[in-house]
Amino acid sequence: MKTFFAILLFVGLWSGCSVAQQPEVGYESVGVEEFKAIIAKDNVVVLDVRTEAEYAEGHVDGAINIDVLKENFRSLAIEALPKDKVIALYCRSGRRSKTAAKILVDEGYRVVELSVGWNGLKS
């Protein structure tokens, strides 16, 4: 009986720890094929969160460019992006897009981000 309670305690503590290590992020991170399917829909705005120079070197057709590294990213995004559409965003490699996604989710947007970034999309 002691063994049973010890196992039950261990499983309870272990499952509690694993849940704590996986916080709710509020956005979906997708691969290239799923991203392409999402941005083909009418209810989606594509957002490129790279620098203007990176955007000028190549981007998804029709994408809006707002650099997530700018101090006023949040206010620029709120001004430019509709809340009634899904925001599909990407950066170069997938790191900055996750930062942007968190900011936009905090502002009440529905967000999908490309996990591998522009580098993965263009290859």
Can you tell me the mean pLDDT for 48-65?
97
User: Is residue 5 over pLDDT 90?
Assistant: no
Is 17 an annotated catalytic residue? no
Question: What is the sign of the dihedral through the CA atoms of 77, 81, 87 and 91?
Answer: negative
Whether residue 51 contacts residue 60, with contact meaning beta carbons closer than 8 Å, is answered with: no
Active-site residue among 68, 91, 101, 104? 91
Q: What is the pLDDT of residue 107?
A: 97
* pTM of structure: 0.80
Q: What is the pLDDT of residue 2?
A: 55
User: Is residue 77 over pLDDT 50?
Assistant: yes
pLDDT in tens, 16-39: 443 333 346 899 999 999 999 999
